[in-house]
Amino acid sequence: MNRIVLFTDPHCPPCGMVKRYFDNVKDKRIEDVEHINLYDNVEFAHKYGARETPTLVVINDMGGILDRFHGGYEITQNIRRILEEYHDLS
C-alpha cells in the first residue's frame, strides 16, 4: 500500500497554506495523507529527501520513493493527480 506523506513544520507559512488547501479539497482520500513534522522526524525525513517544508513524498510498500514534491505551490497544483495516481483503493 502506498503512503502519501507530507513533511511540515508548524512555523512554515507555506505549510499552513497547504493545510488550508487540503481542508478544502472535496476528496475523502486527502484524509489518508500523513502529516509529519520534519523537525521531529529528521532521520525519516532525510531518508526520503525531505530537507525543507513542505515536502510531499509518495512511498511504496517496499519503502521506495515513487514521487516527491517540494513547496506549497507544487503540492497544491498536483495533489489531485497524486491522489488519482497513487492512492490505493481499499
| Tens-digit pLDDT profile for residues 20-41 | 999 999 999 999 999 999 999 9
What average pLDDT does this structure show over 45-66? 96
55 compared with 26, residue with greater pLDDT: 55
Task: Return the number of other C-beta atoms located less than 10 Å from residue 5's C-beta.
Answer: 20
Which of 47, 68, 45, 46 is CA-nearest to residue 56?
A: 68
Q: Percent of the chain, pLDDT > 70?
A: 98
Dist CA 8 CA 67 (whole Å): 17
pTM: 0.93
